[in-house]
Structure 1
Amino acid sequence: MTSPTNDARPRPAWTPSAAKPPLSARMMRATWRGLPPKRHRIAWEPGLTVPAADGSPLITDHYFPREEGDFPTLLVRSPYGRGVPWSPMYGMLFAEQGFHVILQSCRGTGGSGGTFDLWRNEAADGLATVNWLREQPWFNGTLGTVGPSYLGYVQWALALDPPPELKAMVVQVGLHDPYALFHTDGALKLENALLVGAGMTYQHHGMGPFIKATLRLKRHLKGIVNARPLKGAYATALGQEVPWLDDVMTHPDADDPYWKGASAAAAADRPGIPTALITGWHDALVDQTFAQYARLRASGAEVTLLAGPWTHASALQQGWPDVFAESLAWLRAHLCDDRSDLRPTPVRVHTGGADAAWQDLDTWPLAPATTAWFPTSDGHLTQQPPTDRAALTTFRHDPAAPTPSLGGPLLSLPAGARDNSTLESRDDVLTFTGPVLTEPVTVLGAVSARVSASADTGHGDLFTRLCDVDAAGRSTNVCDGFAQLRTPGGEPAHVTVPMSSTAYRFAAGHRMRWQISAGAHPRYAQNPGTGESRVEAREFVPVRVTVHADSALLLPQGEG
């Protein structure tokens, strides 16, 4: 790590530019409501060249207050371009509040030199950018980072070997582990892979090309996700082959050398950088955020957590006033020594369901007692443990008509809570429904399932979901999870299925429902049922899954 610049040395004079931010950014900025009033007029220096360690030019825009003053700096590095929405959301809004904002295109994107290679260059390129900052006359030695999704990953990458100037981070619906973005238990998250592929291939070219690419992907989606083999089927929709996407799709094993160095999780083991984490209960990366929080807490770091009623996309849309206020308060507290807007507790979660409301907590999770709910042969869900391990029921999963995915924690719309009635009417979806609740029940923490099941071919999947059934019979998903079912000997396997975390209050008069199926397509690539690669298999066979009585839904139930 390069030593920081000596702040005591004379700095060259700096005359700020008077250029206005781009018109598209100013127009979008004018549409937002519910944001803090701006404190400064701002200006813009576009197209600056920052040299990476290998000399590749990293193209960078600089937003800043058009006033005299000593302002801290925010670094925002993105593979999605420097235009709308990033220019108004990060460049303009934070500069208006009194920050220099460096908005930079990752290598190989947005005009920056070199070749984009998912995750492999972010740590080095981030440190090279800090070296460049040290030479700028306006840089006062105080640095923060902010950003969502992959813009969160580049923050963790920089924090692996943090420069001494880095004083605070704000990771919004962000990831630290690319493997977990693309795979669960060795199964490809197909929709995620395709959407990230489209975004990283086209968004840095501007909103027009990106929208066209997204629409083209939507038109071709059915053909792509049902192709046999799946490998390479995306090329028509994306208009080209994407080498890094091919690599991601064809390396499903977390221990494969391909993924070595991909995870930046170790950065959260450092106690030195105060970090604000923001997620949504239906965010595709919610589990990564809770993992980050747990590691930061264990390290003794100063950390705050906000979990709202959002998806990955809506956190930056409907949730933006809350997300921006949370981010701004944290950055002011740690870069400007102004803690006046910090909330009093380190954790704030939105509890959904009955009487939905925000809840301030001292920590997460609260570790309430776990309650086991057991399925019965007549489709009920009971707290009475089974007396044996007999087979309850079987169902057939047909790859010619796979069980569809519906809502939940997706990158795209329609994500989030949805009416599951049509899904639950299928023969390949099991439901076990609890009694009508006589008083509210709150589920607060990590949900999981312990499923005892077998697949007649030896290879299958388990997708399980917790739903809220209202008095009219409408079933709405709360949280869910996925795991592979491997039973080569035909004997039932005991599979633990993590079902993410939630803060949810089931109303009196409602019922809890446990849903079990053998897939959620195209959220997850289909299991061929033969043990072959999901991406390279040409032959798919139907799978009959048998569920046994010693299965259980495990709920961290708090006080009603």
Structure 2
Amino acid sequence: MTPYTTAVAGLATDVRLPDGAGPFPAVLVRTPYDRLRHRAELDGWTRHGFAAVVQDVRGRHASAGEWRPYAHEAADGAATARWIRRQPWSDGRLVAAGGSYAAHCALALALDAPREARPDAVIAAVPALGAAETAREPSGVERLAARAGWWAAHGDRPDSDEGALAAARAADPGLFTHLPLSDLPRRLGRSLPSWPGLWRHRERNGPGARAGRAGMPLLAVGGHHDHFTEDTVALWRAWGGPSARLLLGPWGHGLVAEPGPGALPAHRVSLGALYARWARRALAGELRAGHRAAVALGGAPLWLPAGTEGEPRPHRLRLLRGASFTADPGHPVSSEELTVPEKGAPDRCLLVTAPLPRPLDVVGPVGVRLRATADTPSADWAARLVAIAPGGTAERLAVGVVRRADPPGRPAEFTVDLGLLARRLPAGTRLRLEIAGHHFPAHARNPHTGEDPLTATRLLASRRHVDPGGVALRIPALPSRPVPVDPAQEIPR
């Protein structure tokens, strides 16, 4: 392998070339997380016959300029793509690849750069599609803890401090409770001038919004336990290129390095080898047209093909307590604890199913239909679905949050979408449904005054009522054992 470092338009760039005579197809990774951390990845690409290029984005690590997240990636990526195609070792074919923010860079190059600079194929793993997409749920509710962690670690600085938020919370366990939340940078102890501007983004207009006009193959990779699962799947569904592939496993944001609940040995995939095989076939035009997928069934050693989805099955829910409860932002329901208080005034509505008489394969979107009332002009409704194993242990399955502005005291009917679930639940499992006014600190507290949660300085308790007879849990259950696929065969097909 031949390594060298150069600068492209002031951006620090490392290149690894395969042994042997070129020219070669190339892979480009543009990252804010330090290009030096990608050496093993680049070596892997070169072993598969690709020239591998990794670059620090503008204003990060060794690259010059000002770091402005999501602002310059199409232009800087285009300059780098043109440079690569001018090199004697390049055969002109280019794959844009990356995970998280680096996936955003790849997609911005593919969808927003001038046509002649666009790549020939895209690998987008756990893609952070844009500011609004990462900062808010599709319903508009703020993803507080995840964005605070990212901005504390990477925002408005040329380097990173991965432990910044954890250290700040250790010093001040009530870090997120101080108001206003717009003042959080001061409590973190450093300047974050871009923090307030992040929350002004409300329209989901990142690269994913333009996926339908794509002109090249896509491989989208995600995890059931990732923040961006829904966006990853939506990107794959909307992709307008000649082919689109989805690999979705029982993983967190770190993919195979971060196995989540339900991950089994059958779900350990060699991503590097799979990426290279897919890229070879994509560049050669050998992929079948259309959308294909391999989706892991957590809790079972199976991968399912695209289009596998269960049929809605009614599940009778029994009210445990809290048909009427108080959603108090001063004492919000925790997103980090699954323990439910058994004494005192209820802070959520709790319902439970009978034990499952047999194993249940849940595949598809989960939702809850509610008939409920709040006595405040603004109210968030958080629904959390928890699996209670026969031994009593609890595991969070899915969460959804919506923001409502119904007339105070007037009953409303609405649905809370909890996202996609692909999981085999053992016989004897009970499903616990929690309906609350907050899911904190994963999501910012609604102050219930109608003010912006990021700038509010006053909190108001909200009285809630849930009609137990109006609660309908939508569980898409497979009627029979599914026919599995092998991801190593399905993705490059």
TM-score scaled by structure 2? 0.87
Give, in angstroms, the shift of residue 225 of structure 1: 0.6
Are the structure 2 counterparts of residues 433 and 79 from structure 1 closer, same or farther at C-alpha, using a change threshold of 3 Å? same
Q: Describe how 1:301-316 pairs up with structure 2 within 5 A.
A: 301-316=242-257
1:542 to 461, 464, 471: 461
The residue type equivalent to 2:61 in the other structure is G
Give the structure 1 partner of residue 123 of structure 2: 170
> Is 2:7 the counterpart of 1:49?
yes
Alpha-carbon shift at residue 135 of structure 1 (Å): 2.2
Structure 2 equivalent of residue 395 of structure 1? 325
Contact 1:142–1:165 (CA<8 Å) still a contact in 2? no
- AA aligned to 2:250 is P
Match of 2:271 in 1: 323
Superposed, which structure 2 residues align to 1:364-379 within 5 Å? Answer: 364=307, 366-373=308-315, 375-378=317-320
Q: Are the counterparts in 2 of residues 424 and 430 from structure 1 also a CA contact under 8 Å?
A: no
Which of 448, 458, 468 does residue 367 from structure 2 map onto?
448
The reply on whether 1:333 has 2:281 as its aligned counterpart is yes
For the 8 Å contact 1:182–1:189, the answer to whether it is kept is yes
The separation in 2 between residues aligned to 1:211 and 1:166, in whole angstroms, is 31
State yes or no: 1:428 paired with 2:347: yes
1:236, distance to aligned residue in structure 2 (A): 3.8
Find out whether 1:405 has 2:331 as its counterpart. Answer: no
Q: Identify the residue that residue 183 of structure 2 maps to in structure 1.
A: 232
Does 1:123 find its partner at 2:85? Answer: no
- Code of the aligned partner of 1:75: L
- Residues 472-513 of structure 1, C-alpha deviations (whole Å, 9 max, x = no match): 222211111111132333102222211110111222222222
Alignment match, 2:486 = none
* Cross-structure match for 1:274: 217
Cα distance in 2 for residues equivalent to 1:212 and 1:375? 42
- CA positional deviation for 1:77: 0.6
2:190 aligned partner, one-letter code? Q
Partner Cα distance (1:495, 1:292) in 2: 26
**Number of the residue aligned with 2:228:** 285
Deviates most, 282-291 or 184-193: 184-193
TM normalised by structure 1 equals 0.77
1:183/1:359 CA distance change after superposition, 3 Å: same
CA distance in 2, matches of 1:43, 1:523: 45
Question: Structure 2: how far apart are the matches of 1:155 and 1:308?
Answer: 21
Alignment counterpart, residue 447 of structure 2, candidates 525, 528, 533: 528
Q: Residue 231 of structure 1: SS of its match in structure 2?
A: helix
2:143 is aligned with 1:189: yes
CA distance in 2, matches of 1:65, 1:103: 15
Structure 1 residue 64 and structure 2 residue 38: aligned?
Answer: no
Question: 1 CA distance for matches of 2:430 and 2:313?
Answer: 15
Closer, same or farther: CA 547–173 of 1 in aligned 2, 3 Å: same
Deviation at 1:66, TM superposition (A): 3.8
| RMSD, aligned α-carbons | 2.7
Structure 2 residue 39 is matched with structure 1 residue 87: yes
In structure 2, relative to structure 1, the CA distance for the partners of 1:358 and 1:551 (3 Å cut) is same
Partners of 1:245 and 1:463 lie apart in 2 by 25
- Which amino acid in 1 is paired with 2:133? A
Gapped regions of structure 2 (runs ≥ 5): 260-266, 481-493
Q: Distance in 1 between matches of 2:252 and 2:126?
A: 9
Q: 1:108 aligns with which of 40, 59, 62?
A: 59
Aligned pairs for 1:483-522 within 5 A: 483-522=402-441
Q: Which amino acid aligns with 1:558?
A: L
Contact 1:187 1:252 (C-alpha < 8 Å) held by counterparts: no
Give 3-state SS (helix, strand or coil) of 1:166's partner: coil
- CA distance in 1 between counterparts of 2:174 and 2:353 reads 39
2:387 aligned with 1:468, yes or no? yes
Range moving further from structure 2, 543-552 or 141-150: 543-552
Q: Paired residue for 1:147?
A: 98
Q: Percent identity?
A: 27
Counterpart code for 1:128: A
Pairing partner for 1:552 from 467, 472, 478: 472
In the other structure, the counterpart of 1:357 is: 301
1:489/1:215 CA distance change after superposition, 3 Å: closer
- Which residue, out of 185, 191, 198, partners 1:248? 198
Question: Which amino acid in structure 2 is aligned with residue 313 of structure 1?
Answer: G
C-alpha contact (below 8 Å) 2:250/2:296 kept by paired residues: yes
Contact 1:485/1:493, CA 8 A, preserved across alignment: no
Counterpart amino acid of residue 552 in structure 1 = A
Corresponding residue pairs, total = 466
User: Could you tell me which residue of structure 2 aligns to residue 383 of structure 1?
Assistant: none
C-alpha offsets along residues 221-262 of structure 1, whole Å, 9 cap, x if unaligned?
A: 63431111111222342x42222222013x2643xxxx7xx4
Give the deviation of 1:300 after TM superposition: 6.0
The one-character-per-residue Cα deviations of 1:250-296 (angstroms, maximum 9, x if unpaired) are: x2643xxxx7xx41124421353111111110100000011011112
CA contact (8 A) 2:82 2:117 kept: no
2: CA distance, partners of 1:271 / 1:127: 16
Q: Is the 8 A contact 1:153 1:264 kept in 2?
A: yes
Corresponding residue for residue 417 of structure 1: none
| Counterpart residue number, 2:378 | 459
Partner of 1:179: 132
Q: Within 2, Cα distance between the matches of 1:300 and 1:45?
A: 33
Does structure 2 retain, via aligned residues, the 8 Å contact 1:398–1:541? yes
Structure 1 unaligned regions, length at least 5: 1-41, 52-56, 380-391, 408-419
Does the aligned pair in 2 maintain the 1:455–1:543 contact within 8 Å? yes
